[in-house]
Structure 1
Amino acid sequence: MTISINKKITGYAVVTESEHKELTQQSADIHLLGEPLSRPDKLVGNTYKIKTPASEHALYITINDILMNEGTAQEHRRPFEIFINSKNMEHFQWIVALTRVMSAVFRKGGDITFLVEELQSVFDPKGGYFKKGGKYTPSLVAEIGEVLQEHLHEIGMLKRNEPEAHQRAFMEAKRKEYTEQQNTSGSHTASGFPEGSQLCTKCSTKAVIIMDNCLTCLNCGDSKCS
């Protein structure tokens, strides 16, 4: 490559071979995220079935894992590849593209947990939908992100962020108290939360009620008064 110098040269320095090697190594250390993983002949994994209003047919998501540091105290599983299969061909193009990109990220090594948040933050311009249990899902891509999150929970790459036992007991008590106050013991939705519950901005579940003049989520415990 030819470089044109339009200004007067006021000085120069020669880089030695050792300095060149050091600079090259520093550059590699900065840009290299991890050693790419090679595929073994056999992998273990899980297959998840999801059925959403966004697709006429169910989607089957298979995530295969590679076993790292086998036979040592640091033995663990990490995702290596992902496949999505369905009878519905409407989303075929972008699903194939998405799974190939995700598999490439898996194989690159390093931290891949960021994919969960990236996928779950995708919103469908046509609008999302509510899943069984009253949880709002903004898009089909976001639901794929939820499946990945569940898989990472199962193999130990992500910790479950669930209320502790005393928090669950408190929420159950609040739910019972609310039902008794409203005198609507039978007025619960299919999700098990009182009818008229609002959508929680933290866990995206229709489980927010007004208790003691305060908005409280009976699913995750989030409260505007805490």
Structure 2
Amino acid sequence: MAIKINSKIVSYKVLTEDDKKQPSESCNDDKINDVESMHENLERPEMLLGSTYKIKTPQSEHALYITINDMVLNMGTEHEERRPYEVFINSKNMEHFQWVLALTRVISAVFRKGGDACFLVEELKAVFDPKGGYFKKGGVFMPSLVAEIGCAIESHMKLIGMLKDNELDEHQKKLIAEKRKQFEEKNKTEADDDNNFPKKALLCGKCQTKALVLMDGCMTCLSCGDSKCG
């Protein structure tokens, strides 16, 4: 069959049998274009997968319950992934109702917009309460209730694979456990009932946990392993 060429020929290539067996680039491009990503025009399905996180602060008698619902994109394919679609926050405490409702609507809108929504975590965790923060059970300092909401969203993003979990490996955990044992034996100290770390421990600037102690002339965190001596 004759093919009319209207443009100037700048190069040519003789196809081999191997070339004919390989899928063309246009076919690969079509497959890539078929991958669906999160965007605001996606229709909400009847059912979404969700997780609920409980927040109990010493500043309020009632707990907050954060529910994050996910949409499953490209279900049944190699590109299947879960992406947050909406967030709800419920509590018996009506003191924060107005700003909590506004926050959930803004966060949900960012989720549905698509793109990288991970920046929300750092923005929320950086909010400080002018009245002062509080310590969670375990000795972790929370600068505000908004920051703890950010931590709950961070936990969820790690659960669905949007954020990498930077937990310590087994070797690091074993090393920290040995350091802690040495410190307790040397100083004859007992753990605090609230955070399970020595009572005289200071706040670590890296993990925000009250677990920083002086060991061998160097401030060392018994939670994340951070040390001023490297």
TM, length-normalised to structure 1: 0.82
Q: Secondary structure at the match of 2:178?
A: helix
Which residue, 201, 209, 229 being the options, matches 1:197? 201
Aligned residues: 192
Rounded Cα–Cα distance in structure 1 between residues aligned with 2:164 and 2:196:
25
Residue of structure 2 equivalent to 1:11: none
CA shift digits 1:147-177 (9 cap, x unpaired): 0001111111111111221111111000000
Which residue, 170, 186, 191 being the options, matches 1:188? 191
Rounded Cα–Cα distance in structure 1 between residues aligned with 2:39 and 2:66:
26
Q: Does 1:221 align with 2:207?
A: no
Kept after mapping to 2: 8 A contact 1:38/1:107: no
Rounded Cα–Cα distance in structure 1 between residues aligned with 2:166 and 2:98:
34
Q: Secondary structure at the match of 2:60?
A: coil
User: Where do residues 156-167 of structure 1 align in structure 2 (5 Å cutoff)?
Assistant: 156-167=161-172
Rounded Cα–Cα distance in structure 1 between residues aligned with 2:88 and 2:39:
23
Kept after mapping to 2: 8 A contact 1:167/1:221: yes
Q: Runs ≥4 in structure 1, deviation > 4 angstroms? A: none
Q: Does 1:59 align with 2:88?
A: no
Q: Secondary structure at the match of 2:109?
A: helix
Residue of structure 2 equivalent to 1:104: 109
Question: Which structure 1 segments of 5+ residues have no match?
Answer: 1-33
Shift of 1:42: 1.1
Rounded Cα–Cα distance in structure 1 between residues aligned with 2:144 and 2:106:
19
Rounded Cα–Cα distance in structure 2 between residues aligned with 1:62 and 1:92:
16
Name the amino acid aligned to 2:125: Q
Q: Does 1:88 align with 2:93?
A: yes
Rounded Cα–Cα distance in structure 2 between residues aligned with 1:74 and 1:54:
43
Rounded Cα–Cα distance in structure 2 between residues aligned with 1:193 and 1:91:
32
Rounded Cα–Cα distance in structure 2 between residues aligned with 1:162 and 1:155:
16
Shift of 1:56: 2.3
User: Where do residues 62-81 of structure 1 align in structure 2 (5 Å cutoff)?
Assistant: 62-81=67-86
Rounded Cα–Cα distance in structure 1 between residues aligned with 2:219 and 2:79:
44
Kept after mapping to 2: 8 A contact 1:123/1:138: yes
Rounded Cα–Cα distance in structure 1 between residues aligned with 2:52 and 2:172:
32
Rounded Cα–Cα distance in structure 2 between residues aligned with 1:144 and 1:112:
15
Q: Secondary structure at the match of 2:65?
A: strand
Q: CA RMSD in A?
A: 1.3
Rounded Cα–Cα distance in structure 1 between residues aligned with 2:126 and 2:43:
30
Kept after mapping to 2: 8 A contact 1:122/1:142: yes
Rounded Cα–Cα distance in structure 1 between residues aligned with 2:59 and 2:203:
20
Q: Does 1:142 align with 2:147?
A: yes
Q: Secondary structure at the match of 2:174?
A: helix
Kept after mapping to 2: 8 A contact 1:115/1:145: yes
Q: Secondary structure at the match of 2:51?
A: strand
TM, length-normalised to structure 2: 0.81
Rounded Cα–Cα distance in structure 1 between residues aligned with 2:159 and 2:178:
30
Rounded Cα–Cα distance in structure 1 between residues aligned with 2:49 and 2:205:
36
Question: Which structure 2 segments of 5+ residues have no match?
Answer: 1-37
